A and B are shown apart, each in its own frame.
Chain A
Amino acid sequence: MKGIQYWGAPLLSVVLLLAFLAIWHAGTRQEAGAQVVDAEYARLVGSAAATGQKSAFPAPADVGRKIWEHLADPFYDKGPNDKGIGIQLAYSIARVLAGYLLAALVAIPIGFLIGMSPLIYRAFDPFIQVLKPISPLAWMPLALFTLQDSGISAIFVIFICSMWPMLINTAFGVASVRREWLNVAKTLEVGPLRKAFRVILPAAAPTIMTGMRISIGIAWLVIVAAEMLVGGTGIGYFVWNEWNNLSIANIISGILAIGLVGMVLDQALARMTRLVTFPE
């Protein structure tokens, strides 16, 4: 009886995946259509385009083959427009981590100060409210103009978009530390630094980590768009480059890689959140 409970959900997931692949396969089935163009030209544009009315959308098997190719050699480098998907992902992850860690270094201390003092909270609030809803990509031209470097600009965009959830959650977590714990610290004459690190930080840690988890999700969303814009390297550029190459199978491989890496980043933060969460 335990079997169904335990295996039911994963089994259903597999069934759903197979159904999806089957529909995809059925929708893109290649029928050997009559060749309407010259053989030379057909070789140039690919068989799908050459047959005219047939869709160029790849079948699951084509995508599978492409993914296998990528997996077999993920780190090759054959010049600026032809790098392995592993290298491209590494560029993106490095950018995200750089911008994200910089944001954490700035946002968590500031959030701490804001949360400790209602006065500073109210003073900062209008700025946060205005800056928070700005799409990170809107900063891009400004960043390119002032920083004069597309790579650093991409990192800056990650920095600015990871900032707000961490800042707001830290301030909120610090501001809502239970009064009784602060009273304990007061009656024990605990100094301000010790209070900050031994009482407020552990008490606010779950809220801060939740903010960090939201931030890493946003950062990963934004890096793809930013790299499409600045070009050069990264998984976003890879997807855009493959669009220019009209290689739909590569685009799908790239999309899948983006999803998987995003999931891993999110799960890593979720695990860290569990480490600092305390049962009440």
Chain B
Amino acid sequence: MSDPLIRVEGIAKRFAARDGSVSTVFENVHFPIEQGEFVCLIGHSGCGKTTILNILAGLEPASDGYVFVGGREIRGPSLDRAVIFQSHALMPWLTALGNIAFAVTSRWPEWDRARVRSHCQKYVDLVNLTGAERKRPAELSGGMKQRVGIARALAIQPKMLLMDEPFSALDALTRGMLQEEALRICAETRQTVFMITHDVDEAILLADKIVLMTNGPEAKIAEIVVNTLPRNRSRHSVHKEPHYYPIRNHLVDFLVSRSKQFNESLPAGYDPKHPPVVTPSLNEAVPAAPVPAPARPAEKAVVVNLRH
């Protein structure tokens, strides 16, 4: 098995409390991200999702452990890992194009004006913002601002994208449209993506693998769910796929109950270095599932332990 693009090895975040004791947000977090893969991290708020993303981005140091990108340890922020922030983080004194151009000239300082301009325009078109280049962020709607943020991140052609709940601040309609576009763009660019979300449907629509995190403090990676839906899924048809409900129910079950109990009763053979990889199958007896369960011995889920 080839080395994954990203290896997260045993990272932890600890804070010294006022009384001198140490509180652990999460520890012993291991997971790989393969080249070209879309990985979602799901967990309740407070489990340290954003901290994990910031560590991957190089914006925050981990208290323990390492993150390797292409075999090299992360030592700080890098143009190879572009971040799409939850709050879009556009600079309000620059136009939409100016924001993208700022990133592009940071990446290629030697480029002349015309080259920067045409490069930016390509990404403005990619996120369907053509015509709004000259507008300032204050004149753009929430969805358009986030599109600029996405264009800014993609324009520097990073090795991977890090997204921190990029669509959570948007209304449901805009969110749906942008998710669809993210899906299209990632398919076109074969971008490696790590995204944080707390939206189960978003994860199923976008992700190839969904990393489940238990509740904090001392949060852990409970398991990694493989999304078995075909890759060319769309928002309109995804819920009609036979595997949709087993996966969805598995995720919702986890968030509603198992994420709390996981730390108290670790499953037998749980190894944080190799979190169990789960493929929720049709066999899960789920009343809401549109497909009747086949007459096979009912297994809860197929648990595979991937060793590399």
A178 contacts which chain B residues (CB < 8 A)?
89
Contact flag A188-B106 (CB < 8 Å), given A278-B138, A280-B138:
yes
A188 contacts which chain B residues (CB < 8 A)?
77, 79, 102-103, 106-107, 156
Task: Give the contacts of A186-228 with B (CB-CB under 8 A).
Answer: 186-190, 194, 198-199, 202-203, 205
Q: In whole angstroms, how far apart are the Cα atoms of A180 and B156 in the complex?
A: 18
Whether B63 sits at the interface, judged by CB under 8 Å, is: no
Q: In whole angstroms, how far apart are the Cα atoms of A180 and B136 in the complex?
A: 17
In the bound complex, do residue A181 and residue B89 qualify as a contact, i.e. CB atoms below 8 Å apart? yes
Whether B30 sits at the interface, judged by CB under 8 Å, is: no
A184 contacts which chain B residues (CB < 8 A)?
83, 85, 89, 91
Q: In whole angstroms, how far apart are the Cα atoms of A189 and B85 in the complex?
A: 16
Minimum CB–CB distance for A187 against chain B, Å: 5
Q: Which of the residues A183, A187, A280 comes within 8 Å of B81, measured between beta carbons?
A: A187
Whether A8 sits at the interface, judged by CB under 8 Å, is: no
Interface string of B81-102 (1 = CB under 8 A from A): 1110101010111000000001
B138 contacts which chain A residues (CB < 8 A)?
278-280
Minimum CB–CB distance for B238 against chain A, Å: 31
Taking CB as reference atom, which chain B residue is nearest A205? B93
Whether B59 sits at the interface, judged by CB under 8 Å, is: yes
In the bound complex, do residue A187 and residue B58 qualify as a contact, i.e. CB atoms below 8 Å apart? yes
Taking CB as reference atom, which chain B residue is nearest A188? B106
Whether B11 sits at the interface, judged by CB under 8 Å, is: no
Secondary structure of the A side of the interface? helix
Q: In whole angstroms, how far apart are the Cα atoms of A194 and B109 in the complex?
A: 11
Q: Which of the residues A189, A190, A279 comes within 8 Å of B92, measured between beta carbons?
A: A279
Contact flag A278-B92 (CB < 8 Å), given A183-B83, A187-B82, A189-B77:
yes
What bracket does the count of chain B residues touching chain A fall in? 20 to 34
Whether B224 sits at the interface, judged by CB under 8 Å, is: no
In the bound complex, do residue A187 and residue B77 qualify as a contact, i.e. CB atoms below 8 Å apart? yes
In the bound complex, do residue B136 and residue A187 qualify as a contact, i.e. CB atoms below 8 Å apart? no
In the bound complex, do residue B79 and residue A189 qualify as a contact, i.e. CB atoms below 8 Å apart? yes
In the bound complex, do residue B85 and residue A279 qualify as a contact, i.e. CB atoms below 8 Å apart? no
Whether B55 sits at the interface, judged by CB under 8 Å, is: no
Q: In whole angstroms, how far apart are the Cα atoms of A25 and B102 in the complex?
A: 64
Contact flag A186-B59 (CB < 8 Å), given A198-B102, A278-B138, A279-B136:
yes
In the bound complex, do residue B107 and residue A187 qualify as a contact, i.e. CB atoms below 8 Å apart? no
Q: In whole angstroms, how far apart are the Cα atoms of A199 and B59 in the complex?
A: 17
Q: Identify 20 residue pairs between A and B in the complex whose beta-carbon atoms are under 8 Å apart, listed by A's number.
A: A178-B89, A180-B85, A180-B87, A180-B89, A181-B89, A183-B85, A184-B89, A186-B58, A187-B57, A187-B58, A187-B83, A188-B103, A188-B107, A190-B106, A203-B93, A205-B93, A279-B136, A279-B138, A280-B92, A280-B138
Hey, which bits of chain B sit against chain A, CB under 8 A? 57-59, 76-79, 81-83, 85, 87, 89, 91-93, 102-103, 106-107, 136, 138, 156
The 7 closest A-B pairs by CB, nearest first: A279-B138, A180-B89, A188-B106, A278-B93, A278-B92, A186-B77, A202-B93
